[in-house]
Amino acid sequence: VIGVVIGKTDVRSFPDRKNIGAERFTFSFTIRDSPTYFINVQSWGREEYIRSLSESFRVGDCVTIENPLIQSKEAEREEKFNPVTPSGYKLLLSENHSVVKTSSCYDTDTRLLSLLHLPVKDPQDYYSLGDIVANGQSLHGRVLNVLAAVMAVSE
């Protein structure tokens, strides 16, 4: 699979249920290869492997993923922490079988760069900041998709 990385989580650790006292590490990212299709990718493993893999690319890089495991996703559980994707599947990376190679989008396919700026949600499924200010009380307690632009960044 070849695509541009459009999102990425930080590395996290969890207690290993099989090896008491040990930890398993994970991080996930989302790749896109067309305006319509994108998929979440998750990797689990030893700390060294996960940290090295996570540091090998960033959002905006093009990646080639070889030998991922394709698995049905558990929509309600997984989409709390990852973008909702149009696919019923996710990709799992294994330290022993999978390979992720990073390349320049210019070398791979310049069309992939334009995919970085496309929203991952239906354009009819957003609230503007003005809508939220005007209707704040009626929206209280609801989960919303917000479309906004960053105007400034400072300390």
Task: Kindly report the CATH number assigned to the domain that includes residue 67.
Answer: 2.40.50.140
Q: Are 1 and 31 in contact (CB under 8 A)?
A: yes
* Mean pLDDT score of the chain: 85
Mean predicted confidence (pLDDT) in 57-73: 91
pLDDT higher than threshold 80 for residue 71: yes
Classify residue 141: in a domain, yes or no: no
**pLDDT recorded at residue 130:** 85
Mean predicted confidence (pLDDT) in 114-127: 76
Classify residue 63: in a domain, yes or no: yes
Q: How many C-beta atoms surround the C-beta of residue 116 within 10 A?
A: 13
Taking the C-alpha atoms of residue 118 and residue 34, their distance in angstroms, rounded to an integer, is 10
Confidence tier at 142 by pLDDT (50, 70, 90):
confident
- In angstroms, what is the C-alpha Rg of the chain? 18
User: How many domains, in total, are found in the chain?
Assistant: 1
What's the pLDDT tens digit per position in 8-43? 999 999 888 888 888 889 999 999 988 889 999 999
Task: Name which residue leads in pLDDT, 140 or 33.
Answer: 33
Classify residue 133: in a domain, yes or no: no
Classify residue 147: in a domain, yes or no: no
Is this structure's pTM higher than 0.85? no
pLDDT higher than threshold 70 for residue 109: no
Classify residue 47: in a domain, yes or no: yes
**Half-sphere exposure of 8 toward its Cβ, with a 13 Å CA cutoff?**
19
Domain of 89 in residue numbering reads as 2-115
Classify residue 11: in a domain, yes or no: yes
Classify residue 50: in a domain, yes or no: yes
Classify residue 49: in a domain, yes or no: yes
